[in-house]
Chain A
Amino acid sequence: QSALTQPPSASGSPGQSVTISCTGTSSDVGGYNYVSWYHQHPGKAPKLMIYEVSKRPSGVPDRFSGSKSGNTASLTVSGLQAEDEADYYCSSYAGSDNPWVFGGGTKLTVL
């Protein structure tokens, strides 16, 4: 069982928006602004999409945005494109003894 809870699947049609949630506790998501999101295409390494809740690394399209409310973080993908179909994982800092916790992943399908 993963420390952070994500829905196993999400879907949307091209051009639509989809939001993926990531629920933790006050000891991780709710306690720090260190939520990050990764996407992973089949057979590939994860790629950083969002860090520190809402910041985008260079090269990541602004269609990807992140937010947080309480113990739940969210990733929104706007203007869905076929290449957005992938597994998405959230992660949060959880304190010095066990710095990272990951979500179980959400499979995003572009219909």
Chain B
Amino acid sequence: EVQLVQSGAEVKKPGESLKISCKGSGYSFTTYWIGWVRQMPGKGLEWMGIIYPGDSDTRYSPSFQGQVTISADKSISTAYLQWSSLKASDTAMYYCARFEDGNYYFDYWGQGTLVTVSS
């Protein structure tokens, strides 16, 4: 069974750093892309960036370029999304999801990680 299991909810202060994770199982982690999608409270979905764990090829949405860093450790089938200095506006639910190269839809999603940034 394909599963993407994300790390738990986080509460942080503005200016702090954070790294959240997404562990894949039930499939070949290195042969599917992992994407990160933001959902701000009461709002829609926004793609942030993608990574191919097989070779760490990473692409960012223009809206998120320079704001976050996406990485992966294929030895433990885990992708990461990190911030160096959080802002209150980063408060959102973050989802990881996978897609197959050449396909442009996300077929499996993680359960989401809620990030709350508040002083």
Contact = CB atoms under 8 A, between A and B. Distances in A.
Contacts of A104: 44
A90 B95 CA distance: 16
A61 interface: no
A97 B49 CA distance: 11
Given A45-B95, A51-B103, A52-B105, A89 B45 contact: yes
A52 B49 CA distance: 21
Given A89-B44, A102-B45, A104-B44, A48 B104 contact: no
Contact of A102 (B47, B103, B107): B47
B45 A99 contact: no
Interface residues of B, number: 22
A97 B59 CA distance: 9
Contacts of B104: 32, 34, 36, 92-93, 99-100
Contacts of B97: 46
B107 A57 contact: yes
Interface string B79-119: 00000000000000001010000011111111110000000
A58 to B, nearest CB: 10
Interface of B: 35, 37, 44-47, 50, 59, 61-62, 95, 97, 103-112
29 contacts: A2-B44, A34-B104, A36-B105, A45-B110, A45-B111, A46-B97, A47-B109, A48-B105, A48-B106, A48-B107, A51-B103, A51-B107, A52-B105, A57-B107, A89-B45, A92-B104, A93-B104, A97-B62, A98-B61, A98-B62, A99-B50, A99-B59, A100-B35, A100-B47, A100-B61, A100-B104, A102-B45, A104-B44, A105-B44
